[in-house]
Structure 1
Amino acid sequence: MSLSPENPGTAQIAKPDLNRRTVLKRASALGLLAVPAVGLLEACATSGGSTPSDQSTGGAKSSDNPLGVDPAAGVEVVIFAGGYGDAYATKYHVPLYQKAFPKAKVTESSTQDIQGTLQPRFSGGNPPDVVDNSGTKFMDFGALIQDNQLQDLTDLLNAPSVDDASKTVKDTLVDGTVEVGTYSGKPYVMNYVFTVYGIWYNAKLFQTKGWTVPTTWADFKTLLDKIHAAGITPYGYAGANASYYQYYVLMTSAAKIGGADILKNIDNLEDGAWMDPAVKQSAAAWAEIGAKYSDKAFLGLKHTDVQLKQDQDQVAFYPSGNWLENEQKDSTPPTFNYAMMPVPSVTTSDKLDASSVMAVAGEPFIVAAKGKNPKGGMEYLRRMLSKEGAKDFTTATGSLTSVAHASDGMSLSPGLTSSSDALSKAKSAFYFRFDGWYKDLDTECRAATNELFYQGGTADHFCQRMQAKADAIKKDKSITKFTR
């Protein structure tokens, strides 16, 4: 949420001409599926094993307790301390669970290093029950699944929803949410936040300068020249930990140039997928932006450093998802109004319209199969997925959830209104999943993107580097493969 000029600590209320129903209706019409918008880290070292002897066996099932949770068993929750913070958990979601089960103690903590903090606990057989497995340093989903560490969420999805017993939890979710958390036919991940990706800017600055949001690459570069002449760095991202923000944009351009099947082929490790002319053309276009219109010093900066520069109008364009506005709410001045534009068309013959966007259900939550209370972990998610839990999240973070229609009637902040409007106008929406499937491919793409954008890399080398890594993963029989 952006800050109000009258009260810098409160959310500015917008008056959007659309609501959650409009956005979701559009997303459904597009046949939208989504993907966790995160990369991967090292795999857990454990393998399959027996159920811990101290694991809760549950309690009696009832209409209020359809999963059969032990009402006195505690639940431990660990939240990624990123753009959404963890106030939504401490202020809203933990109390929701404790209201339903007053005898249960819910322990919540947060960290920016999920993998470093929790991998030893998963390896040691003492994981927390619920984990927001997000951020730059988070655990490898494929490895967790391969090691039988994740709870199958089928019982959760088939359980009656908190708000309407005639509907299952699955029935209440945005189309594609379940599918994108499904691996080898089983749902292991609940992606809670509905995110639209694009390029962000200060709408007030653009209005003052008389700058028009571009839809073509020629207009984009012309505007970047004007911005540079005004003494502002035209475009940038943080290379130290947010290079995936930029490679999402690069993949978006590739999909627009050559069609969404480009991304599907990459996900499926198809031979030569990274060598597709559309990928190479996108890489070349963005390499030029990095060489001419950015600051190579950003290579060593963290995301909040570059985002603060944008808040201070030192950087005009910044690639991100719509968590950005909330993440920066404490440093956004009254002179700054977040707005998002779709990535401009690279060519005049792009297969997808300039309005097309990448839109995803992200912020992946998991339940530990070997935790002390996996049934309680699933029930915690069921409470989060209630309309009250979803609205509370939107209130706390200024972001939409994957619960359909949960924010109908709510006023949205300027940035969220802008990104939601972009989705509602999009003629197509798309996604990719390789970043959530193959840790090494995600890691390689981050490094290759930094090289391309900030270190003088070429499009040919980018494509060759990525193809080599994809080929190595495809040949490695120890890595579980996924397809779509």
Structure 2
Amino acid sequence: MGSTIEPNRLNRRDLIKRATAIGIAAVPASGLLSACAASGGGSKQETGKKTATNPFGVADSAGLEVIIFKGGFGDDYAKRFEQLYSKQYPSAKVTHTPTQNITGLLQPRLNGGNPPDVVDDSGNAQIKLDVLQKAGQLTDLTPLLDAPSIDDPGKKVRDTLQPGTVELGTIGGTFCTLQYVYTVFGLWYSGKLFRQHGWSAPRTWADFMSLSAEIKKAGIAPFAHQGKYPYYINVAIMDLAIKNGGPDFMNRVDKLDDTVWDEAPAKNAIEAVYQIVSNNYLLPGTNGMTHIESQTAWNQYRAAFVPCGAWLENEQLKSTPSDFEMTFMPMPSLPGDKLPFEAIRGGANEPYIVPAKAKNAAGGMEFMRIMLSKAGAVAFAQTANSLTVVKDAIGPEVQLRPGTKSTVTALKAAGGNVFNPTYLYTASQLDVDMGNASSELMANRIQPAEWLKRVKTATQKAKKNGS
């Protein structure tokens, strides 16, 4: 994606964080609804004959217009997709438009009934998907799921996707957005730094604390975090709690059961993270840093660990030394964890849509089918340095950067132990309130008991407000 959580990246974490939650500039529903009623039928859609290899009936010469949010993932990957499309439809003119202002570019065209054919609806200026769906502005993409896979026509596209992809793309009971990027979350370190010092990646929290003491003795801060954007440390805290409490704990958090904050998993997780603070293991100044500032300090070997999602490598390309060996690992295990060390948070994000009144909606869905081929997944991994929702698309023969390669390894090791809480989408204010408490905790202005109290109150408020 490109970004999702903070100013510019904020957009991408859309995945989860904001998986609609943080900082999106939403278009008022009324504006689109009234436009929908006024714009009539729009341009006549161009279609061709449906065949086994052309399941949507794409017209050979119909142009295809693609608008891409140019954020942390850039837009070179989309150009690779477009090249694959042009190979299949050489007579079709493909138009590529990168932007960081999706709303400014897209809303007038939706209102006018002449939208583009494919849109990466991401970034701070994203148009909220539920607004588009309620306004009837999104094409039902169920035919895409039921179309044959390009790689194996004996399989439907839906059978080639990571678990949860269809659910996350379903709004109001209709699959109408393709959440394409598959992001995993955890801790990151430099393989070079660890090898030089003879350090091993810790599997338990006790080992993490012991290693942190060694790291500090070496004159390096054990831990940096993106202090201005506490979403990141929230993810670390909640991943510890979910691994400790298991799927039932996560489900209760998602259902806004406020009693979870009185129980051991929540207490164990927040007390563990507070050890970083109380032992003075934080990089000085990290509580006031942006994501780029803290991650760049980490790239400069001023800190050993930083929490982040899999977009980190692409985001830090310019700051990362060529021999840094960026490496991903799951959150270390707490005593009594119900999920194994290898368990990680992972899920789909970065929404792509085909507007309902697109002139070449069939071509838009075919473009997505190409995205969901192994060739498309490899092109994205090599160009945007992140994974996609296509299962088993990246083999050992595919050349990847070290960080991306380490996420592939971690995802395979996790197997079925991949989790993805949904409160971030359904009760985004809870995450904001939790982040405010986390900022106070990391600055040592409150202690774990107060954090638990504040988050319990925030959960009660979210439930009362109908989240």
What is the Cα deviation at residue 118 of structure 1? 5.3
Question: What is the RMSD computed on CA atoms of the aligned residues?
Answer: 3.1
The answer on 1:450 being equivalent to 2:429 is: no
- Which structure 2 residue ranges, 5 or more long, are not aligned? 1-13
Q: Residue in 2 aligned with 1:297?
A: 285
Q: Equivalents in 1 of 2:17, 2:107: separation in Å?
A: 17
Amino acid at match of 2:74: G
Residue 45 and residue 58 in structure 1: after superposition, are their counterparts in 2 closer, same or farther (change >3 A)? same
Residue 375 and residue 257 in structure 1: after superposition, are their counterparts in 2 closer, same or farther (change >3 A)? same
Offset from partner CA, 1:158-190 (integer Å, 9 cap, x none): 122333433322122233322332234322332
Q: What SS is found at the alignment partner of 2:66? A: strand
Q: Equivalents in 2 of 1:70, 1:274: separation in Å?
A: 56
What is the Cα deviation at residue 254 of structure 1? 0.6
Amino acid at match of 1:449: S
The answer on 1:36 being equivalent to 2:15 is: yes
Q: What SS is found at the alignment partner of 2:15? A: coil
Q: Equivalents in 1 of 2:104, 2:275: separation in Å?
A: 36
Amino acid at match of 1:363: E
Q: Equivalents in 2 of 1:446, 1:104: separation in Å?
A: 48
Q: Equivalents in 2 of 1:43, 1:338: separation in Å?
A: 35
Q: Residue in 1 aligned with 2:319?
A: 331
The answer on 1:89 being equivalent to 2:89 is: no
The answer on 1:423 being equivalent to 2:402 is: no
What is the Cα deviation at residue 271 of structure 1? 4.6
Offset from partner CA, 1:349-393 (integer Å, 9 cap, x none): 222222322222333323333555443332221121122222211
Q: Equivalents in 2 of 1:390, 1:38: separation in Å?
A: 23
Contact residue 60 and residue 92 of structure 2 kept, 8 A = yes
Q: What SS is found at the alignment partner of 1:67? A: coil
Q: Residue in 2 aligned with 1:59?
A: 47
Amino acid at match of 2:439: N
The answer on 1:459 being equivalent to 2:448 is: yes
What is the Cα deviation at residue 336 of structure 1? 0.9
Q: Equivalents in 2 of 1:38, 1:135: separation in Å?
A: 12
The answer on 1:160 being equivalent to 2:154 is: no
Q: Equivalents in 2 of 1:52, 1:232: separation in Å?
A: 63
Residue 68 and residue 201 in structure 1: after superposition, are their counterparts in 2 closer, same or farther (change >3 A)? same
Q: Residue in 1 aligned with 2:355?
A: 368
Q: Equivalents in 1 of 2:151, 2:457: separation in Å?
A: 49
Pick from 352, 358, 380 the counterpart of residue 339 of structure 2: 352
Contact residue 372 and residue 390 of structure 2 kept, 8 A = yes
Contact residue 382 and residue 400 of structure 2 kept, 8 A = no
The answer on 1:266 being equivalent to 2:253 is: yes
TM-score (norm 1): 0.80
Q: What SS is found at the alignment partner of 2:388? A: coil
The answer on 1:340 being equivalent to 2:328 is: yes
- Which structure 1 residue ranges, 5 or more long, are not aligned? 1-34
Q: What SS is found at the alignment partner of 2:323? A: coil
Pick from 62, 74, 77 the counterpart of residue 66 of structure 2: 77
Q: Equivalents in 1 of 2:427, 2:364: separation in Å?
A: 26
The answer on 1:195 being equivalent to 2:196 is: no
Contact residue 187 and residue 330 of structure 2 kept, 8 A = yes
Residue 162 and residue 124 in structure 1: after superposition, are their counterparts in 2 closer, same or farther (change >3 A)? same
Specify which structure has the bigger relative contact order, considering alpha-carbon pairs within 8 angstroms and separated by 6 or more residues.
Answer: 1
What is the Cα deviation at residue 240 of structure 1? 3.3
Q: What SS is found at the alignment partner of 2:183? A: strand
Offset from partner CA, 1:439-471 (integer Å, 9 cap, x none): 433443444433332463443443444444444
Residue 360 and residue 439 in structure 1: after superposition, are their counterparts in 2 closer, same or farther (change >3 A)? same
Contact residue 287 and residue 442 of structure 2 kept, 8 A = no
Q: Residue in 2 aligned with 1:14?
A: none
Residue 99 and residue 355 in structure 1: after superposition, are their counterparts in 2 closer, same or farther (change >3 A)? closer
Q: Equivalents in 2 of 1:414, 1:283: separation in Å?
A: 31
Q: Equivalents in 1 of 2:284, 2:315: separation in Å?
A: 24
Q: Equivalents in 2 of 1:372, 1:447: separation in Å?
A: 45
The answer on 1:284 being equivalent to 2:263 is: no
What is the Cα deviation at residue 312 of structure 1? 1.3
Pick from 431, 440, 451 the counterpart of residue 429 of structure 2: 440
What is the Cα deviation at residue 115 of structure 1? 6.0
Q: Residue in 1 aligned with 2:5?
A: none
Residue 62 and residue 257 in structure 1: after superposition, are their counterparts in 2 closer, same or farther (change >3 A)? same
**Bigger CA drift: 384-393 or 435-444?**
435-444
Residue 219 and residue 240 in structure 1: after superposition, are their counterparts in 2 closer, same or farther (change >3 A)? same
Residue 355 and residue 405 in structure 1: after superposition, are their counterparts in 2 closer, same or farther (change >3 A)? closer
Q: What SS is found at the alignment partner of 2:83? A: helix
Q: What SS is found at the alignment partner of 1:358? A: strand
Q: Residue in 1 aligned with 2:29?
A: 46
Amino acid at match of 2:394: S
Pick from 386, 392, 395 the counterpart of residue 405 of structure 1: 392
Q: What SS is found at the alignment partner of 2:85? A: helix
Contact residue 55 and residue 371 of structure 1 kept, 8 A = yes
Residue 466 and residue 381 in structure 1: after superposition, are their counterparts in 2 closer, same or farther (change >3 A)? farther
Identity value in percent: 41
The answer on 1:231 being equivalent to 2:224 is: no
What is the Cα deviation at residue 72 of structure 1? 4.6
Pick from 185, 192, 203 the counterpart of residue 215 of structure 1: 203
Residue 456 and residue 76 in structure 1: after superposition, are their counterparts in 2 closer, same or farther (change >3 A)? farther
Q: Equivalents in 2 of 1:129, 1:164: separation in Å?
A: 26
Q: What SS is found at the alignment partner of 1:191? A: strand
Contact residue 191 and residue 362 of structure 1 kept, 8 A = yes
**Bigger CA drift: 117-126 or 262-271?**
117-126
What is the Cα deviation at residue 273 of structure 1? 4.2
The answer on 1:313 being equivalent to 2:292 is: no
Q: Equivalents in 2 of 1:376, 1:52: separation in Å?
A: 22
In the alignment of these two chains, the number of paired residues is 441
Offset from partner CA, 1:22-77 (integer Å, 9 cap, x none): xxxxxxxxxxxxx9333122443124434653244231332243223455544443
Contact residue 55 and residue 372 of structure 1 kept, 8 A = yes
Q: Equivalents in 2 of 1:260, 1:36: separation in Å?
A: 20
Q: Equivalents in 2 of 1:431, 1:386: separation in Å?
A: 24
**Bigger CA drift: 139-148 or 396-405?**
139-148
Q: What SS is found at the alignment partner of 1:38? A: coil
Amino acid at match of 1:432: P
Amino acid at match of 1:44: V
Contact residue 58 and residue 68 of structure 1 kept, 8 A = no
